[in-house]
Chain A
């Protein structure tokens, strides 16, 4: 996953979140829907954090490899 893709994906996640929150403003809220929205958002965040952490680990390994060469 490259740098720009992560950054763009997070922007898209934020935009989607905004549209979903706007929907809540326009119509009466539903407990199930709001719980689902919060759960999805937490899952996406967790997935992206894992991606970024994995990439960071890989970058550290590459730098360590290069330092030993």
Chain B
């Protein structure tokens, strides 16, 4: 039960860069200008092949579109907005979001993901612009571990609370806070209060 989240594989600077290349290209093809160029190329190819009947025009058309597509894809790699979106997707994939019933925790977890995205982006930018190894690349791994730890902690605590609620005879309702009306039928150890002092349980 407590290992529901476990230790997630750490996203390092190297693995992030590797995934980013692939993801930015995919993003550029599916949502960016490169995708639009591929669409225009395919539309333009039909009349060129059918009407002109020669492959020369089709080849020239394909070459010109390919150059534009490469330029467009390259610009995506330095586009702050695209990188931010792609990093956010990579983080969501590396750390799947859990639905927590504690409504005050969820926004904090969401904000942490945004902050991590900014850290990763800044580290990439700093290392791009400054020659030499500043050692900052290790921060991406550390920050990702912090993020994983935060989620692990939140999920474990919630699962523990849920287990306690079941044992004490409360009826846990998924997605809502626990009932406070049910009386405990099992004595709760003082240790519980040491873990979550705010729970207000009496020893």
A contact residues vs B (CB 8 Å cutoff): 2-4, 6-8, 10-11, 13-15, 17-18, 21-22, 24-25, 28-29, 31, 34-35, 37-38, 41-42, 44-45, 48-49, 52, 55-56, 58-63, 65-66, 69
Contacts of B142 in A (CB 8 A): 17, 38, 41-42, 45
Contact between B119 and A10, CB atoms less than 8 A apart: no
Query: Closest residue to B158 on the A side, CB-wise?
Result: A3
Compute how far the CA of A67 lies from the CA of B136 in the bound complex, rounded to whole angstroms: 47
Contact between B108 and A59, CB atoms less than 8 A apart: no
If A31-B134, A69-B187 touch, whether A11 touches B2 (CB-CB below 8 Å) is: no
The A contact surface, by secondary structure, is helix
Q: Mark B76-114, 1 if CB is under 8 A from A, else 0.
A: 000000000000000000000000001011001101100
Contacts of A28 in B (CB 8 A): 130
Contact between B163 and A18, CB atoms less than 8 A apart: no
Q: What is the minimal beta-carbon distance from B98 to any residue of chain A, in angstroms?
A: 12
Contacts of B160 in A (CB 8 A): 59, 62-63
Query: Closest residue to A24 on the B side, CB-wise?
Result: B126
Interface size on B, residues (CB 8 A): 51
Compute how far the CA of A25 lies from the CA of B102 in the bound complex, rounded to whole angstroms: 37
Query: Closest residue to B122 on the A side, CB-wise?
Result: A21
Q: What is the minimal beta-carbon distance from B148 to any residue of chain A, in angstroms?
A: 10
If A3-B157, A45-B149, A59-B156 touch, whether A38 touches B136 (CB-CB below 8 Å) is: yes
Contact between A61 and B105, CB atoms less than 8 A apart: no
Q: What is the minimal beta-carbon distance from B80 to any residue of chain A, in angstroms?
A: 12
Which of B25-33, B42-50, B53-61, B188-196 participates in binding chain A? B188-196
Q: Mark B157-168, 1 if CB is under 8 A from A, else 0.
A: 110100110010
